Structure 1
Amino acid sequence: MTRYARLRIYIGESDRYQHKPLYMYLLEWFHHHGFKGATVIRGIAGYGSHSKIHSVSVFRLSEDLPIIVEVVDEEEKIHGSLDEIKKLVKEGLITIEPVEVVFYGHREE
């Protein structure tokens, strides 16, 4: 039986890698390396290791809102990618949890 895991990477919206938003770099990295799928989630508020709260404000045009990059794939593939991912993520949080995949598919076109 195949075991699956969910990888979550918590970063800030303003984090960058090679002059590109880090979340987009990660999304493209996962796609290029053949992961089954990835999602970027933008939070409305949060705080991390610096304990500074980041939130949406009507009075500020630009924010450093929390971003979660979430990937579900085979456990082995997730664990095998960690060294490379840790080179890309300089600040934030990376977690892995086991998941049960109930369905994975797409509509016929």
Structure 2
Amino acid sequence: MNEWHQLNIYVGEANHWKQQSLHAVLVETAHAHGLAGATVTREIAGFGEKARIRTTNTLASSTDLPVVVTIVDQAEMIAQFIPVVQSIVQTGLITLQPVSVIEPAINSKQTSSNRPKFSFFSWNNRFGS
């Protein structure tokens, strides 16, 4: 059984890298490196190293909400990708944890390397914000 990992990259929505949205660059780079799947989630509130609370609250609306880029793949693929992430992300938080991947039997697709390719891509915006 292969070991799978989940890489979470917490950044601000307004963060950029080479004049592109950082979260978009991370997803495109993960795709270019052949990783199994990536999802971007826009959060409704949070704070980071500067301790400034950012929220969707209409009284204190922020244009720099927290964004989480989640990438899931086999452990060795994630391990190879971490230095790439570190070279792109200047501020934020990067976490790594093992996960159990349960594939829907009817939707799983196998590649020649016997690695599943997931049939999803999500730019998720929580609670319709």
- TM-score greater than 0.5 by the shorter chain: yes
Whether 1:14 aligns to 2:11 is no
Distance 2:97 2:61 in 1: 35
Instruction: State how 1:35-74 maps to structure 2 within 5 Å.
Output: 35-59=35-59, 63-74=63-74
1:50 CA drift (Å): 1.0
1:27 — aligned with what?
Answer: 27
**TM-superposition CA deviations, 1:30-81 (whole Å, max 9, x none):** 1111111100000000011111100113256751000000010000110111
1:103 CA drift (Å): 0.8
**Identity over aligned pairs, percent:** 36
Residue aligned with 2:58, SS: coil
Match of 1:58, as an amino acid?
Answer: T
Distance 2:51 2:59 in 1: 21
Match of 2:4, as an amino acid?
Answer: Y
8 A contact 2:54–2:61 mirrored in 1: no
Instruction: State how 1:62-101 maps to structure 2 within 5 Å.
Output: 63-101=63-101
Between 53-62 and 37-46, the greater mean CA deviation after superposition: 53-62
Q: Which 4+ stretches in 1 moved above 6 angstroms?
A: none
Name the Cα RMSD after superposition.
1.7
Structure 1: runs of 5 or more not aligned:
none
8 A contact 2:54–2:62 mirrored in 1: no
Residue aligned with 1:35, SS: coil
TM-score (norm 2): 0.77
TM-score (norm 1): 0.91
Distance 1:48 1:62 in 2: 14
Residue aligned with 1:6, SS: strand
